[in-house]
Amino acid sequence: MTKHLPFQLARPCHLVTLLAAAFPCLAMAEPSLMLDSVVVTGSRVEHNSFDLPAAVDVVDASRIGADQARVNASEALASVPGITVQNRQNYAQDLQISSRGFGARSAFGVRGIRLVSDGIPASMPDGQGQAATFNLDRAERIEVMRGPMSAIYGNHAGGVIQMFTPDGKGAPSVEGAFSAGSYGTWKSDVSAQGEVGGVGYVIDASRFATDGYRDHSAAERDQTMAKLTFRPSQDGKLTLIANTFRQDAQDPQGLQWKEFQANPRGVAWDPGTNKNIYPALAYDTRKSIDHTQGGLTYEHRFGDQTVQVSAYAGQRSTTQYQSIPVSTQSVAYKASNVKQSGGIIDFDRDFAGLSGRWTGRFGLAGGRLTTTVGFDYEQATDDRQGYENYVGSGLVPNCISNICGVAGRLRRNEEDSVATFDQYAQAEWQGERWTFSGGLRHSHIAFKVDDRYIVTGNGDDSGRVSYDKTTPTVAALYRLTDSVNLYASAARGFEAPTFNEMFYSDAGGSFNFSLKPATSTHYETGLKAMLGNASRLDVALFEIKTQDELYLDAHYAERFTASTGAVSAGSRLPGVAAQNLFGEVAWKHQSTGLHAAVEGIIRSKVYVEDSNLQKAAPGYAIANIRFGIDRKYGPLSLRGFLRFDNIFDRQYVGSVIVGDSNNRFYESAPGRAWLAGVSARYTF
């Protein structure tokens, strides 16, 4: 059973200081830096990030495509403070993303952070999300918000990551790109954009493949997107967008510490220390995803008022082969295994949503009042099955007497549905020196399970549960000078259990409908300062107190008992490094288009489980270097780059699987690697 644990920072003064965009890069011969970008995350209307009382960073297109393959969001978000995005080198498990500790304990996918792409949630209604569906090839910017104001986005909004693609504009153009590098990695991309007959369009298609750094980690990915924009009137705008994502990936799984030391590129040995048996290979662990979605948004302005309505729908099919041993599944071997759900996860998900909001702007008390009222409705239904990952009698529970890694008998069959209906209101008053803002959101989340697999010893696990929560936010900003802003904010947040947590938290193999949502209280104070014309300094001090969940920096305030044993007060939260540092020195020559940069990343050690008794993933420091050239010949634009990552060939753990039951906590990062790419764009 999952324990619900009170947790808070060890003492009020134990805060984390973030230096965000403080001298973000040393740019020679660069005309300007984007110091005050426009964002919509947080206020839901266009707002200068400098004047927003929140920790918000913008990663623009130049950074997203900074001599990168544009495959993983970890490439683009490495420089954002307060958020950790780790590439597991395992495309079957997606990235590991945490924001101020939210999401750090997720063994797969993303939880605790709200993911949104062009207004369409990449997070499902239960809070589980996938960043892999972000189309980085056409991304115009990614907005990343941490702290109290994230709570206005509702369930699992410990942070918010929003990606936006541009509208098609101007003369038509076509572009092609190709890159290749270490470990059999390559990617091709083709796109077109422009405006014809008043309709703007952006079309993109890409294919990515890799043999993988580790054994049994090959992956293939196909991704497409299409975006159309049309203005039926001067004050109205209609946007239609569609995306597809297909991926087949092997799963190398994590390693025990001794396995990492012996062969960081290998896969785990048998839990019984039999080095001749490798579960990932014996069961051919792998995952396939087929994802399609589409949506439309209509926005209309009525003077100082705006109404926006959005709708979306999609379908996702997932099949995952795990390495759960035959001895754990076989009823013939052990009758008590009857409630085990098999070693293959197979589901088809239909999801959809509808949202609307009204925004008005008014003069009030010598200042400007902006108000927003809106609602979000989201629903998802899974037709979910589980199968044994072997064919055979199971009387002798091994992969010699049975054929492993293939679909066997049905062991799970159910329909899982979740729906959310949220209403929210926000208001901001902006005067000459002061800005005050606040928001209130009410969330209703309903889960329902219809169990269709009922056999002797495994009864009907059908049931339902719902959660209701109202979360407030308040903030104030004071303009000390034209170049210095001070702000403070506070909020309440919450995270409902996900479907996976409901199922896997019950040792008896049934759904655990008694889980409580995690609640949290956030406090933040900060300073934003323009340092001349080329630098900006952001400093944020924050504290988070939470009930029934775990968070950043810190230490457990009370002793408690977990499934792995007693955890002492003062133990550090696993999965989160106490210190992260990113630095970059970049140079660009305007007339020739030549550019180069050196990147440095330092990360302190990371504990892998609650007690802190298992070997922590050691801290590391790595350096990357990249070179490139941009040239234009009339309507033809050419780009080329070459980058080397981990140039000193350090061997280190890139990410961890928190609390893995087989002590396979460690996921190896690549040694020295190279990537080269070229692209060409022609404008008609």
User: Mean pLDDT of residues grouped by 10 in the chain (684 residues)?
Assistant: 32 34 35 68 87 92 89 90 87 88 78 91 90 92 92 90 94 97 97 95 97 96 97 95 97 95 91 68 96 96 95 97 94 93 96 97 94 96 96 93 95 96 96 95 95 92 94 96 95 89 70 86 94 88 78 41 52 83 91 94 91 92 96 95 97 91 92 96 96
Three-state secondary structure call for residue 682: strand
Measured distance between the N- and C-terminal CA atoms of the chain, rounded to whole angstroms: 63
Answer whether 528's CB lies under 8 Å from 485's CB: yes
Three-state secondary structure call for residue 279: helix
Gyration radius of the chain's alpha carbons: 25
Three-state secondary structure call for residue 548: coil
| Long-range Cβ contacts of 514-518 (<8 Å, 24+ apart) | 515/2, 515/4, 516/4, 516/548, 517/467, 517/469, 517/548, 518/494, 518/546, 518/547, 518/548, 518/549
Say what the pTM is. 0.89
Answer whether 203's CB lies under 8 Å from 223's CB: no
Q: What one-character-per-residue DSSP string does 134-155 give?
A: --GGG--EEEEEESGGGGGG-T
- Nearest 5°: the CA angle 200, 204, 206 is 175
Instruction: State the CB neighbour count (10 A cutoff) for residue 87.
Output: 21
User: Taking the CA of residue 116 as centre, how many other CA atoms within 13 Å lie in the half-sphere pointing to its CB?
Assistant: 24
Environment class of 560 (CB within 10 Å of its CB; exposed 0-12, middle 13-18, buried 19+): middle
Q: What is the 3-state secondary structure (H, E, C) of 597-652?
A: EEEEEEECCECCCCCCCCCCECCEEEEEEEEEEEEEECCEEEEEEEEEECCCCCCC
Answer whether 504's CB lies under 8 Å from 536's CB: no
Instruction: State the CB neighbour count (10 A cutoff) for residue 413.
Output: 17
* Share of the chain residues as helix, strand and coil, in percent rounded to the nearest 5: 5, 55, 40
Cα 33 from chain centroid (whole Å): 27
- According to the model, what pLDDT value does residue 566 have? 54
Classify 90 in phi/psi space as left (phi over 0), alpha (psi -120 to 50) or beta. beta
Q: What is the 3-state secondary structure (H, E, C) of 52-91?
A: CCCEEEEEEHHHHCCCCCCCCHHHHHCCCCCEEEECCCCC
Architecture of domain 6-683: Beta Barrel (2.40)
Residue 221 structure tokens = 């990915």
* 503, containing H or E segment: helix 499-504
- According to the model, what pLDDT value does residue 631 have? 95
Beta bridge partners of 188: 178, 207
Strands 26-28 and 580-588: parallel
Tell me how far apart the alpha carbons of residues 507 and 493 are, in angstroms, rounded to a whole number. 28
- According to the model, what pLDDT value does residue 380 have? 96
Domain range summary for the chain, segments of one domain joined by +? 6-683
Cα 494 from chain centroid (whole Å): 18
Residue 561 structure tokens = 């008992």
Task: Return the residue matching tokens 């702007």.
Answer: 361
User: Rounded to 10 degrees, what is the CA torsion of 189, 25, 671, 183?
Assistant: 10
Q: What are phi and psi of 589, to 5 degrees?
A: -105, 115
Cα 121 from chain centroid (whole Å): 11
